[in-house]
């Protein structure tokens, strides 16, 4: 199992980034839908119609969201944590993703940029 860390600088306040992570309407706007999600501990979520699913394990509004993620036939979840920090020009988003199956590491690493946080950044910076 592997882990990764990526950092994004988004020209939007933490509240907007937070909404893009937990609000179903926002998720569907940036491309992660159909989705089920909210900002509560214990919520069972789905992204991309259930291709990614799991549970919110830690929620600190506009600061930290930790989730257990499942995809495909993973025998155990990987842990995803988004940490948001206000910056002068917007929000610093630090992604920590742990327990990534070895054979899927490159695809997942690139997927964050192409299909998730990269899309959130583009979406928030144009709206």
| Predicted local confidence at residue 86, as pLDDT | 98
- In this structure, are residues 4 and 109 in contact, taking their beta carbons and an 8 Å threshold? yes
pLDDT at 9 over 90: yes
pLDDT at 5 over 90: yes
Q: Cα(112)–Cα(125) distance, rounded to whole angstroms?
A: 17
pTM (2 d.p.): 0.95
In the structure, what pLDDT confidence band is assigned to residue 80 with cuts at 50, 70 and 90?
very high
In the structure, what pLDDT confidence band is assigned to residue 120 with cuts at 50, 70 and 90?
very high
- In this structure, are residues 40 and 56 in contact, taking their beta carbons and an 8 Å threshold? yes
pLDDT at 72 over 90: no
Task: Return the percentage of the chain with pLDDT > 90, whole number.
Answer: 93
CATH class of 2-126: alpha beta
State mean pLDDT over 84-96. 97
């Amino acid at each position: 199992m592997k882990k990764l860390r990526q950092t994004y600088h988004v020209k939007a306040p933490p509240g907007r980034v937070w909404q893009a992570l937990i609000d179903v309407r926002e998720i569907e706007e940036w491309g992660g839908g159909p989705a089920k999600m909210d900002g509560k501990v214990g919520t069972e979520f789905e992204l991309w119609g259930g291709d990614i699913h799991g549970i919110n394990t830690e929620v600190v509004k506009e600061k930290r969201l930790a989730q257990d993620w499942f995809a495909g036939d993973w025998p155990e979840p990987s842990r995803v944590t988004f940490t948001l920090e206000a910056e002068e020009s917007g929000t610093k988003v630090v992604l920590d993703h742990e327990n990534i199956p070895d054979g899927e590491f490159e695809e997942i690493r690139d997927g964050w940029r192409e299909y998730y946080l990269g899309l959130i950044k583009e979406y928030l910076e144009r709206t």
